[in-house]
Amino acid sequence: MANLEKTIARIRPLDEVAMAAARARQDELTKPRGSLGRLEELAIQVAGIQGRARPSVRNKAVIVMAGDHAVCSEGVSAYPAEVTPQMVYNFLRGGAAINSLAGQAGARVLVVDIGVAAELRPHPGLWQRKVAPGAANIARGPAMTREQAIRALEVGIEAVEAELGRGLDMVATGDMGIGNTTPSSAIVAAVTGLEPALVTGRGTGLDDAGLRRKVEVVERALRVNRPDPRDGLDVLAKVGGYEIAGLAGVILGAAANNVVVLVDGFISGAAAVVASLLCPVAKQRMIQAHLSVEIGHQAAMRWLGAAPLLDLGMRLGEGTGAALGMMVVEAAVRALNEMATFAEAGVAEAKEATPAAAG
């Protein structure tokens, strides 16, 4: 059995026993019940993911998948494809936004070359697992073969497994790939059935003419490839990208290993859609970190039935929103674990109000 099949077979629903114990503790902490709002439910979800009533999120990593896209030749990006390897080197030097935000979150950064259309110099922070030098032009045919899609998914799974050896409680998904909002829009349009114009945005800053051209490219990609919206592998192979496949693998690998996964913005959201098609129960184990301003991401969140933690008007990618989400999750878990209960603090619990006797 392939690693992908084995991984999917290991993904289980959330641990209800751990969640019940975490919920009971929440109700005993020195605060009115429910007063920490979503933080309480978030900590309970993390307990269910890890299978522990007192979860831990000490060991954190951001996995950034990098890949190129031949569809850039259609004029769908304001930046040239050469920026992908240049930004990979920026990550490795520690000069990108994700390096700053991951540092604030206390997370290490692993960059994976899964499909960059250039030979990259070796670096301790770079995992070289190139499946192919960039996805093919989806406006003219499939992005990759089905076998390549499986291999890219397994690279993501293997990245999680490698990080487990260094200690891993929580992982954030990140991406780098000029042009990758185009395949992300195609994935979301294919799966949701929405018109491409309703899920395609300006990406790195296209003008009106560029946006119209991008919408036409997505329309052509769907018409040429006809992806099956019920088959995650078919959608991924026909209109996806290698970094999107790798991120879907990270999500599945985290779910199978009881690791909390913070899903970033639009590219990671498209990967989450694919992962959910491959394994619907994996949706329970994802935490959507933030809501991108990209309309395609908003459509993906509606399809997933998700309520992202943050809405900060971001659209950078790299895992930046997910790194911020890590801090919210850690705050939720610390409140659950470190607050005293009423009994421990010697504080009287609230009593239910009783109606006054009729006079």
- How far apart CA 18 and CA 93 sit, in angstroms, is 41
The values of phi and psi at residue 58, to 5°, are -70, -45
- How far apart CA 202 and CA 212 sit, in angstroms, is 9
Say how many residues make up the chain. 359
Burial 320-331 (b: 16+ CB within 10 A, else e): bbbbbbbbbbbe
Region of residue 98 (phi > 0: left; psi between -120 and 50: alpha; otherwise: beta)? alpha
Strands (DSSP E) contained in the chain are 60-67, 107-115, 126-128, 170-176, 260-263, 286-288
318 a catalytic residue: yes
Rg of the Cα atoms in the chain: 21
Q: Give the pairing type, strands 126-128 and 170-176.
A: unpaired
For residues 3 and 153, the answer to whether their CB atoms sit within 8 Å is: no
For residues 152 and 245, the answer to whether their CB atoms sit within 8 Å is: yes
Exactly one of 40, 154, 243, 318 is catalytic; which is it? 318
The values of phi and psi at residue 315, to 5°, are -160, 35
Instruction: Report the half-sphere exposure of 275 (CA within 13 A, side-chain side).
Output: 38
Helix, strand, coil in percent for the chain, rounding step 5 = 50, 10, 35
- Residues annotated as part of the active site: 318
